[in-house]
């Protein structure tokens, strides 16, 4: 029997966590949103409210949807507030130590019938599952960014993931009106295994002086018909996240073709992480993106 999912717990109220919360609430699910401080949760609630308002302005959602969706999202400052959730999704930073600590703490708190999902974009599902005490009830549920607009969700089974967990996750994704694709538990799965090396190669192209930021992004937009240039996309994803995924690929597959570009490392060391810090391959501080190289 497939577990009915009505209450969703989300750990991490950042860009991905707030997007998942919005998608769930708009689809009629109750959401319990957790982060390390109440201020972060409140900031996420304000962001979600603003995002739904923009959808209303475009005519894609009605005002009644906004009120109902916001009423379904409950701040959960303590992990104990997630105890009765049917599914708890971790959407914290792309750092294995942080994720392992979260699951180690959540394992004894969440009701036994519930299952865990992780929104990791690259880390081993099997390794993360081992920290929960219930690896059979653990699965990778990797949403694309921005969550409310992107159609695809990757589902990744760990070595111990039971069929019932997999079927419940598939049903959950269909409730959100999204499409699931299944990936094996290899570093970075499908989308990022293909996408991030392309972005890394674009950064090498900049690093080696083959083209400027503007030239590279224009070339890929107009020459490959990509909706966004790879350097612009890197800024949108977050250069720290891009670096983390490349490091997972490089370490997990031991192939030099996945070596992170030194320029990417330098930007992250400088704290130039893209849009979220107002500087990356573009400088956003003036309101209009200006290439930094």
Same domain, 172 and 224: no
pLDDT score for 234: 98
Q: How many helices (H) and strands (E) does the chain have?
A: 11, 10
- 171 in a domain, yes or no? yes
Q: What's phi and psi for 208, nearest 5 deg?
A: -85, 0
- 2 in a domain, yes or no? no
Instruction: Tally the domains of the chain.
Output: 2
Same domain, 117 and 71: yes
Peptide bond into 145 cis (omega under 30): no
Residue 97 domain boundaries = 7-183
Catalytic residue among 18, 34, 119, 121: 121
Catalytic residue among 18, 124, 192, 200: 192
Total residues belonging to the chain: 293
Instruction: Look at the block and give the residue holding tokens 């799965």.
Output: 189
Same domain, 242 and 139: no
Same domain, 179 and 241: no
Q: What's phi and psi for 182, nearest 5 deg?
A: -105, 130
Whether 250 is catalytic: no
pLDDT score for 2: 62
- 1 in a domain, yes or no? no
Give the torsion through C-alpha atoms of 14, 138, 186, 241, to 10 deg. 10
Helix (H) or strand (E) holding 156: strand 152-157
Burial of residue 83 (CB within 10 Å: 0-12, 13-18, 19+) is middle
- 124 in a domain, yes or no? yes
Give the torsion through C-alpha atoms of 166, 167, 168, 171, to 10 deg. 120
Q: Rounded to an integer, what distance in angstroms lies between the CA atom of residue 150 and that of residue 157?
A: 21
Which CATH number do you get for residue 55?
3.40.50.720
Q: Name residue 90's beta-bridge partners.
A: 11, 118
Mean pLDDT per block of 10 residues along the chain (293 residues) reads 84 96 97 97 96 89 88 97 98 95 96 96 95 96 95 98 96 97 96 97 98 98 97 96 95 96 98 97 96 95
Domain boundary pick from 142, 162, 183: 183
- 120 in a domain, yes or no? yes
CA distances for 113 relative to 4, 9, 31, 83, 172, angstroms: 10, 14, 18, 11, 15
How many whole angstroms from its chain centre is CA 94? Answer: 9
Same domain, 162 and 198: no
Catalytic residue among 18, 122, 124, 142: 142
Same domain, 120 and 25: yes
C-alpha closest to that of 144 among 192, 89, 203: 192
Whether 154 is catalytic: yes
Instruction: Look at the block and give the residue holding tokens 């689809």.
Output: 27
Cβ neighbours, 10 Å, residue 208? 10
pLDDT score for 142: 98
How many whole angstroms from its chain centre is CA 177? Answer: 18
Cβ neighbours, 10 Å, residue 288? 8
Same domain, 20 and 156: yes
Same domain, 197 and 165: no
C-alpha closest to that of 146 among 208, 218, 233, 72: 233
- 233 in a domain, yes or no? yes
Same domain, 245 and 217: yes
- 169 in a domain, yes or no? yes
Domain boundary pick from 129, 150, 183: 183
Same domain, 63 and 160: yes
Catalytic residue among 34, 94, 124, 154: 154
Domain boundary pick from 154, 183, 212: 183
Same domain, 134 and 28: yes
Same domain, 233 and 172: no
Which CATH number do you get for residue 279?
1.10.1040.10
């Amino acid at each position: 029997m497939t577990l009915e999912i009505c209450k969703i717990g989300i750990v991490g109220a950042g860009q991905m966590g707030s997007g998942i919360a919005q998608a769930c609430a708009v689809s009629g699910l109750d959401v319990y949103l957790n982060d390390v401080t109440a201020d972060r949760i409140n900031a996420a609630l304000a962001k979600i409210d603003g995002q739904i308002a923009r959808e209303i302005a475009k005519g894609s959602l009605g005002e009644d949807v906004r009120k109902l969706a916001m009423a379904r999202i409950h701040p959960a400052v303590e992990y104990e507030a997630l105890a009765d959730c049917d599914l708890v999704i971790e959407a914290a930073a792309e750092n294995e130590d942080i994720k392992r600590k979260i699951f180690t703490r959540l394992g004894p708190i969440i009701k036994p019938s519930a299952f865990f999902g992780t929104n990791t974009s690259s880390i081993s599902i099997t390794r993360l599952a081992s920290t929960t005490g219930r690896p059979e009830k653990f699965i990778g549920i990797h949403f694309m960014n921005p969550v409310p607009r992107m159609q695809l969700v990757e589902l990744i089974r760990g070595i111990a993931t039971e069929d019932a967990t997999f079927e419940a996750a598939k049903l959950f994704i269909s409730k959100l009106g999204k499409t699931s694709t299944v990936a094996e538990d290899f570093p970075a799965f499908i989308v990022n295994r293909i996408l991030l090396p392309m972005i890394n190669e674009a950064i090498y192209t900049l690093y080696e002086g083959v083209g400027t930021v503007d030239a590279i992004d224009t070339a890929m937009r107009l020459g490959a018909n990509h909706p966004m240039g790879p350097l612009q996309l890197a800024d949108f994803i977050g250069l720290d996240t891009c670096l983390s995924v490349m490091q997972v690929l490089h370490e997990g597959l031991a192939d030099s073709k996945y070596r992170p570009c030194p320029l990417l490392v330098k930007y992250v060391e400088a704290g130039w992480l893209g849009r979220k810090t107002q500087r990356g391959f573009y400088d956003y501080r003036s309101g209009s993106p200006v290439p930094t190289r």
